[in-house]
A and B are shown apart, each in its own frame.
Chain A
Amino acid sequence: MAKVTFTAWKTKAQLLDVRSEFYPPAWYNGPDMRSHACATVEAWKLRGNVPHHVEATALLTDAILHDDGQRNSIFSIRATYSAAFCRFVTGLVDTKVTGPRRTMFQRAMDLGLPASFVELRHEATHREPPSLVVLRKATQRSLEWLWDNYWANIDSDGVGGATVPGHDDSIPMTTALSQVLQEFMRGSGSRPMQKKRKREQEDATAGRLLEVCGASKDGMNAGLAALSTILLDSNLLFDSERKLGDSMDAMFNKWDPVLQQVAGFHSSVLLFLSEELVHNLVLNAATESSMNTQAEGLFLWLEHLLTAPVWELQRPSFPRDYILAVCNAQSTHWTRILAEKLQLQQQDTTAVMSHTQMTASTSPKRLAQPAAVEIFSRKLQEHGWGFAEKWDSRPLGITSSN
């Protein structure tokens, strides 16, 4: 069940940037970026969809920045602290709750908010603003609380709400990858699964694989390369009981959804996987025989990646030329067939390409798009109004130049 949420930040990276501006890491010794972070949150607020935790952090930080006895009166400093602190607590505790009425204290307890915060808020709203000592301390604690309850968790999940158990950093990546893969193998065991369950499982696996690969010290590509190696080394792509000439469809059906999801984000996985496949095919002496099951399996995978319609979209990243070169260099039964297939396909695609180009140029949609001249008068064009010249459908917030 997909849940669509809207964020004030364009990308997750922006939120992470703001976090490191609010809470600079220990080793950081650059300029103080906290006021920049406050300004950013201020700008986000204009857009809406800002979580209360983010807003509260900005307010509290702003109050700290305002705490300068030389320039501001003590009253204004206390008032700023009080206002920020009250908004922080009230906003948290007040989030429209349906259900039985509960006291502020009860709700604070549910949220894990120290009871002293509620008390202090009460004091600040109904009595004199508390003393600066108390306010400074409370603000500091609030920021810590916000870190623990919000900021610390934003890396792992999509929006910055609930936490997802992250993988353990101490395990080497390869181990982590094999764990995920083994789990997938076990999960998709012999018994038939509900379609929906299956899809969920595939999504989850792909997501975790990406996560592990992304966490690789040497970058995403290193992770994906490692993934390809593991897939082949652990013989996960083949059914161990398969005999020569048996169909591989079961295996394809099993892995395609996961691999495709991964490829959807990083198409380079196809590159690594196919290279790995062809290397295995060529470099293993045993696979030269046309009767080797293993070799046939490798070949069938390559052929599948090369021809199956499901891989159509990712095919541009298929290292055709490289594989062709390898095949030609190491001629065996299987590489010969593969090379033939590749060459044949190449001819086909050139034909298709020219065909699509032809149809594209006469596509009625293009013609329907009225020229700028017709819509915008000369005067308007002189004033800088017109249509985007180069344009492909792209989401809001993305310019052609980036």
Chain B
Amino acid sequence: MKRKAEKQQSAAPVSAMSAVAARRARQQQAQAATIVKPDVVVEITTEPPSKRPRRSLEGQQITHNCEESKGRRTRSSTKQEESSPPVTRAGRPKKTLKSDQLESPSNGVVEENEDSDQEELEQEQREDDEEMAEDEVASVIGDADGYESPADTPAELQNFPLSKARLNKSNIIYADDDTMCVRIKEKTNLALLGQYDLWVKRGVVSLMGAKLHPSARVYRVYAPSTHSLPVVKCVSGVDGEAEVEIRSCKSGLIRLRDISPLYQKVWNEGNTAADKLTLKSALKNSRRTFSVLYTSADDSLKRHLRPLHLDKKWSASMKALSQRHGQLRVLVCGPKASGKSTFSRYLLNHVLSPAPETENGYINTDGCAFLDLDPGQPEFAPMGQVYLAHLRAPFFGPPFTHPSLDDSRDGQILRAHHIGATSPKEDPDHYALATMDLMEQYRSLLTRYPQCPLIVNYPGWIFGQGLEVATWLIKSLGLSDVVYMSEKGPVEVVEPLNMAANEARIPMTILPSQPTDFVSRSSAQLRSMQIQSYFHLSHPSGLTNPLWSGAPLSRTRPITVDYAGEKQGILGIMVLGSHISPAMLREVLEGAIVGVVAVESPNAIMATATGSTDEPVDDDNEGDIDADEDVEMGSGEQQVDGAASGSIADGILRTPEEDLPYLCVGAGTSVPLNPSASNCLGLALIRSVDVKSRKLELSTPIPSSRLHDAIEQGHELVLVRGQLDNPNWAVSEEYYSARAAERRYQKSIARGKKSSHSAVGQDKQNETLAILRERIRRASNVPWMTVVEDNSRRHREAVARREKSLWRLRKKAYPASESETDW
């Protein structure tokens, strides 16, 4: 079966590929294909699909590097979730109508009980969490992506070593209830779970690829259990030791667990033995936002925790690549789940490591450019976008801890294009154009920062068209290196890539893929976590680190924009893919995620239809781009503005009932915006269409200054409705939040009983509970969601099974996985 699919793919490679890319790629591709094809069939029979059997060989070894570990699913023995300051937040969430009467009683209870016995509290919480965990898992069932499948808990080492260093009196310099300063011996390391600020005081440590020298700078590190744990390793020390201070931090990210089950059991839990050692007896009960783990058995939730040690080949390659300094232009590609993004992240951190002047004379002052071409799991943006980012400092954490860059001093997104899908295969032409445009941006960035290296992260789409695009990129981007993240081929992919690299005279490095075989979140789940994080993140001015809000979106004030009338704030609404009946536009918009795109010139819409056949690829249109960016803004604004509305007006159709401006160009399927004249500002969630006042109600984390700038420059705003994952997370936020509020209150009552000074009367408690239950009831009765009490044995068993399971990565390097769902 598989082989058949294989043959078909390689036999008929060229289809709707970008005219641009195709023209380039086709001839060479054809040659390559003919040469390669003979081996294809033979190879497959001998070689098993990528590296599935890996873990049977290496599972027992400590090489388990990167990538995620197991989350809540192993909760065989449990403790309460999270080190939780929010216990105190019990009665908070009902800001609604009745809130005022309620606020005082609940807070009273909570305040009162804060100092009650922690142990008891944990008991209580354990029970409550049990209950929650059940339905949280249920709601998540069944969104496996093509290459992952639910797996039962592997009978693996429960006692997986995480840290080499051991803390004792002599290496703990000082410690209090949220800080810990320790010395780490050279070549040993410390694994921490949770969130913390790291300050290197003496010696040099490495962390997630970055080499950190002593400096005044404090780095924020996010180490959730969903990904492999970063380890703080002493590379070289003073007297053989490095000294680091680790401090608890509050980012608000923990609070997201109230609104999404996916964010539950993600952070550190209780105090480990090592934590207790560093906490003086008086502080035994205090909770830091991080925990030191010696082995995975230290985790009270018994999660699938793995440390992130670098494979030797990885670090050697990173070192070699970073030797190129400002000349580095590397494309990282490989099959799905092979560790491309992990490697890219590490390489990026490595390149961005602030080396002290003395080390080798090279100082990276120009930062590093990151061209992220993976719309399925972007590093610094929510799904559906490809973008060019300019980064100045390393980032420590998985993507959901930095879902956007807000022009902070550490990095900014220079330009982004909304692909509107989690896979480029929906419209490879548009994807290729977007890539070319971003490369142009990089070139113009080079004029300002001549020593700025480039890392290109390519998606795991390396079959058929994906391979064509990849080979074409290798040939046309002017790279310095190609990294392929799998030692197991497949040959029909590696060979063409190799040939393309040869042709472009650039070296291709083949690295082993990441050794992880199990993850606790599927890629669809990670996407959901990331986009939720994106919508709850803010970058308050004056703070170095971002903050997250745990309030459900439905409880935040909507932003409105007129879609018709004098003050019409958006030019139109575009639906990618097949045209839909205009009468359905509202149906498709409400409760959906759209890209907010600034259209820079009228060509953005019309030119794509005709213009894509000539070459936006060629270097010679650099001038055009610059013109778009610089010249027009200054002088021709008004003109552009007028022209835009003039020519685009033809493409705009008013929907019969709502008067929505439906922008649809093209025959049968809509032509996307031309990347060379458009820039995606970010995503918005359309909450509803208010037909009466002709307004859209939305939520968006896009800073209003960006919208302002776009309008100021005479750009028009277009909302692009693509095929991104449905925001189920947004629909259910209020429900989970209501559940969390009730659970908390129950806990506080229980605690009140135990500590026997119940300040609030039974009646008052019941009243509060009734209000909280009412809130749950209301929250479970919302559009697009149904909450059913399901007590059938089958459901229970399914849930129980899921709880213990992980996602097994098939790491399939075969197109069969692509044909199904997404990747």
Chain A residues with CB under 8 Å of chain B are: 1-12, 39-40, 42-44, 46-49, 96, 98, 157-159, 200, 203, 260, 264, 308-310, 312-313, 352, 356, 359-360, 363, 365, 369, 375-377, 379-388, 391-401
- Asked if B232 lies at the interface with its beta carbon under 8 angstroms from chain A, I say no
B708 touches A380 (CB 8 A): yes
State which of A1, A313, A377 has its C-beta within 8 Å of the C-beta of B796: A1
- Asked if B554 lies at the interface with its beta carbon under 8 angstroms from chain A, I say yes
- Asked if B783 lies at the interface with its beta carbon under 8 angstroms from chain A, I say yes
Tell me, rounded to whole Å, the shortest Cβ–Cβ distance linking A385 to chain B: 5
Taking CB atoms and an 8 Å cut-off, the chain B residues in 78-136 that contact chain A are: 95-96, 98, 100-101, 134-135
- A384-B695 Cα distance, complex, nearest whole Å: 9
**Contact A1:B138 (CB < 8 A) given known A10-B783, A42-B584:** yes
Closest to B769 in A: A310
State which of B570, B577, B695, B786 has its C-beta within 8 Å of the C-beta of A7: B786
Main SS of chain B's interface residues? mixed
21 A-B contact pairs sorted by A residue (CB < 8 Å): A1-B799, A2-B789, A4-B780, A5-B785, A7-B786, A42-B581, A43-B581, A44-B587, A158-B786, A158-B788, A200-B789, A312-B98, A312-B767, A356-B100, A365-B95, A377-B705, A380-B569, A383-B569, A385-B561, A397-B782, A399-B688
- A359-B102 Cα distance, complex, nearest whole Å: 12
Closest to B565 in A: A384
Having A159-B788, A359-B100, A385-B707, one finds 12 other A-B pairs with CB under 8 Å, namely A4-B787, A42-B581, A46-B588, A264-B777, A310-B766, A312-B767, A377-B705, A377-B708, A382-B567, A385-B560, A388-B697, A393-B554
For A4, list chain B residues within 8 Å (CB).
135, 138-139, 732, 735, 780, 785-787
Q: What is the number of contacts between chain A and chain B, taking CB atoms within 8 Å?
A: 225
Interface centre among B568, B789, B795 (most CB of A within 10 A): B789
- Asked if B558 lies at the interface with its beta carbon under 8 angstroms from chain A, I say yes
Taking CB atoms and an 8 Å cut-off, the chain B residues in 536-594 that contact chain A are: 553-555, 557-563, 565, 567-570, 575, 577-578, 580-581, 583-584, 587-588, 590-592
For B688, list chain A residues within 8 Å (CB).
396-399
- Asked if B239 lies at the interface with its beta carbon under 8 angstroms from chain A, I say no
- A10-B554 Cα distance, complex, nearest whole Å: 16
- A313-B775 Cα distance, complex, nearest whole Å: 11
B557 touches A369 (CB 8 A): yes
A43 touches B580 (CB 8 A): yes
For A1, list chain B residues within 8 Å (CB).
134-135, 138, 789-791, 795-796, 799
Tell me, rounded to whole Å, the shortest Cβ–Cβ distance linking B4 to chain A: 12
For A387, list chain B residues within 8 Å (CB).
557-560
State which of A157, A260, A375 has its C-beta within 8 Å of the C-beta of B704: A375
- A401-B788 Cα distance, complex, nearest whole Å: 29
B783 touches A395 (CB 8 A): yes
Interface centre among A7, A43, A158 (most CB of B within 10 A): A43
For B777, list chain A residues within 8 Å (CB).
264
Closest to A313 in B: B774
Interface centre among A8, A46, A380 (most CB of B within 10 A): A46
**Contact A39:B590 (CB < 8 A) given known A1-B795, A4-B135, A4-B732:** no
For B503, list chain A residues within 8 Å (CB).
none
- Asked if B16 lies at the interface with its beta carbon under 8 angstroms from chain A, I say no
- A398-B558 Cα distance, complex, nearest whole Å: 12
For B721, list chain A residues within 8 Å (CB).
46
For A313, list chain B residues within 8 Å (CB).
98, 770-771, 774
For B782, list chain A residues within 8 Å (CB).
395-398
A7 touches B785 (CB 8 A): yes
**Contact A8:B560 (CB < 8 A) given known A1-B135, A388-B697, A401-B690:** no
- A396-B734 Cα distance, complex, nearest whole Å: 10
- A157-B569 Cα distance, complex, nearest whole Å: 43
- A393-B775 Cα distance, complex, nearest whole Å: 12
For A398, list chain B residues within 8 Å (CB).
688, 782-783
Closest to B142 in A: A96
- Asked if B409 lies at the interface with its beta carbon under 8 angstroms from chain A, I say no
Closest to A48 in B: B726
A399 touches B767 (CB 8 A): no
Closest to A360 in B: B100
For B763, list chain A residues within 8 Å (CB).
308-309
- Asked if B687 lies at the interface with its beta carbon under 8 angstroms from chain A, I say yes
A200 touches B560 (CB 8 A): no
Q: Number of residues in B with C-beta < 8 Å to the partner?
A: 87
- A356-B97 Cα distance, complex, nearest whole Å: 10
B783 touches A397 (CB 8 A): yes
Tell me, rounded to whole Å, the shortest Cβ–Cβ distance linking A135 to chain B: 24
Tell me, rounded to whole Å, the shortest Cβ–Cβ distance linking A65 to chain B: 14
For B730, list chain A residues within 8 Å (CB).
396
For A379, list chain B residues within 8 Å (CB).
708, 711-712
B770 touches A260 (CB 8 A): yes
- A387-B590 Cα distance, complex, nearest whole Å: 18
For A383, list chain B residues within 8 Å (CB).
567-569, 711
- Asked if B487 lies at the interface with its beta carbon under 8 angstroms from chain A, I say no
State which of A7, A48, A310, A377 has its C-beta within 8 Å of the C-beta of B725: A48
**Contact A393:B96 (CB < 8 A) given known A3-B135, A377-B708, A401-B693:** yes
A384 touches B786 (CB 8 A): no
B590 touches A10 (CB 8 A): yes
Tell me, rounded to whole Å, the shortest Cβ–Cβ distance linking B104 to chain A: 9
Closest to B138 in A: A3
Closest to B711 in A: A383
For A3, list chain B residues within 8 Å (CB).
135, 138-139, 787-790, 795
- Asked if B664 lies at the interface with its beta carbon under 8 angstroms from chain A, I say no
- A109-B254 Cα distance, complex, nearest whole Å: 48
B786 touches A5 (CB 8 A): yes
**Contact A393:B95 (CB < 8 A) given known A7-B784, A203-B789:** yes
A401 touches B691 (CB 8 A): yes
Return the CB mask of B668-705 against A: 1 if under 8 Å, else 0: 00000000000000000101111111010100000011
Of all A-B residue pairs in the complex, the 10 with the closest CB atoms, nearest first, are A384-B569, A384-B562, A309-B767, A384-B567, A397-B783, A395-B782, A4-B139, A43-B584, A10-B783, A3-B790
- Asked if B323 lies at the interface with its beta carbon under 8 angstroms from chain A, I say no
For B796, list chain A residues within 8 Å (CB).
1
For B725, list chain A residues within 8 Å (CB).
48
Tell me, rounded to whole Å, the shortest Cβ–Cβ distance linking A241 to chain B: 26
- Asked if B723 lies at the interface with its beta carbon under 8 angstroms from chain A, I say yes
Interface centre among A158, A387, A393, A400 (most CB of B within 10 A): A393
For A96, list chain B residues within 8 Å (CB).
144
- Asked if B764 lies at the interface with its beta carbon under 8 angstroms from chain A, I say yes
- Asked if B728 lies at the interface with its beta carbon under 8 angstroms from chain A, I say yes
- A7-B728 Cα distance, complex, nearest whole Å: 9
Closest to A44 in B: B587
B687 touches A397 (CB 8 A): yes
For B770, list chain A residues within 8 Å (CB).
260, 309-310, 312-313
- A113-B139 Cα distance, complex, nearest whole Å: 28
Closest to B725 in A: A48
Tell me, rounded to whole Å, the shortest Cβ–Cβ distance linking B683 to chain A: 15
State which of B555, B560, B565, B570 has its C-beta within 8 Å of the C-beta of A386: B560
Tell me, rounded to whole Å, the shortest Cβ–Cβ distance linking B136 to chain A: 9
A399 touches B787 (CB 8 A): no
- Asked if B526 lies at the interface with its beta carbon under 8 angstroms from chain A, I say no
For A356, list chain B residues within 8 Å (CB).
100-101
B587 touches A40 (CB 8 A): yes
Closest to A264 in B: B777
Closest to B796 in A: A1
For A381, list chain B residues within 8 Å (CB).
567
B708 touches A309 (CB 8 A): no
Taking CB atoms and an 8 Å cut-off, the chain B residues in 749-798 that contact chain A are: 763-764, 766-767, 770-771, 774, 777, 779-780, 782-791, 795-796
- A173-B735 Cα distance, complex, nearest whole Å: 34
- A39-B585 Cα distance, complex, nearest whole Å: 11
- A398-B588 Cα distance, complex, nearest whole Å: 14
For B139, list chain A residues within 8 Å (CB).
3-5
A43 touches B588 (CB 8 A): yes
- A363-B96 Cα distance, complex, nearest whole Å: 12
For B692, list chain A residues within 8 Å (CB).
399, 401
